[in-house]
Amino acid sequence: MSAINENLKLIRQAKGYTQEEVARQMHLTRQAISSYETNRTQPDIETLKRFAEVYDVAFDDILYGTHRTQRQHKACRAVALIALMDLLVCNVVQSVLLLTANTYFRVAEGAVTESASFILKTRFALLDAFHAVETFCLISFSLLGLVLLILLIMLERPVKIHIKLKFLVLLTLGSVVTILPWPFFDTLYGVFDYGFIAIRNLLFAWVLFGLSFVGEWLHKKFGIAPAKNGL
């Protein structure tokens, strides 16, 4: 069950109200609304019913987070988190495979002995696994990005630009942290070899960032539900 304070904040933002506007309608102070939303104080039943009236939602939406808008935003956050973890985990796995192949299974020049043959086979196996993870990451991250794009477009109220930018910055910084250290220990391959797929995925994420505004505009113009920046 969702926390009541989170439900109050999400519904207010989805409705496009400021804390000051809600406070005026409920004859409370802005600090009181903030206190309820940050869980510093707990509203009583009558106050919760008043919130439901002001926001024009069912009482269960306040208690359990069952409002359509709440479900939409939770779905967006879940897909965004999965996409982030997908990218970062794949970055680490790829880097470990590549560094292992280049550090412990390098084939020296000259005749291929029995031991060198084993090293060569193992190196090829590691590189095949590296490319398999690359392909998986490219496909999975692209699909997750497209799902997230659709979810964002279908929101009743679009996500604010600074929240989208924070997510893109998190993706970028996460990629830097999970990729940049590895090439320093590799004498064969450089940063671009380690980060090629991550760079492609980040570029794709920035393209989706731009497309989200186009999609939101189209949804506002032709969609069923009105859209307006609020969250």
pLDDT digits (tens, 9 = 90+) for 57-103: 888 888 877 667 777 888 898 999 999 999 999 999 999 999 999 99
pLDDT in tens, the chain (231 residues): 458 888 888 888 777 788 999 999 999 999 999 999 898 998 889 999 999 899 888 888 888 776 677 778 888 989 999 999 999 999 999 999 999 999 998 876 655 566 778 888 999 999 999 999 999 999 999 999 999 999 988 887 778 888 899 999 999 999 999 999 999 999 889 999 999 999 999 999 999 999 998 988 887 777 644 333 333
Q: Write down the residue that tokens 């920035």 correspond to.
A: 206
> By three-state DSSP, how is residue 132 classified?
helix
Whole-number CA gyration radius for the chain: 25
Instruction: Tell me the C-alpha distance between 172 and 179, whole Å.
Output: 11
Was domain 4-64 assigned CATH 1.10.260.40?
Answer: yes
Of the candidates 151, 152, 154, 1, the residue with the CA atom closest to the CA atom of residue 66: 1
Q: What distances in angstroms separate CA 201 from CA 81, 112, 168, 213, one per listed residue?
A: 15, 38, 11, 19
Of the candidates 141, 133, 156, 128, the residue with the CA atom closest to the CA atom of residue 228: 156
Q: Which two tokens stand for residue 129?
A: 């696994």
The model's pTM:
0.74
Instruction: Tell me the C-alpha distance between 18 and 116, whole Å.
Output: 69
Q: Write down the residue that tokens 């400021």 correspond to.
A: 18
Label residue 65 left, alpha or beta by phi (over 0 means left) and psi (-120 to 50 means alpha): left
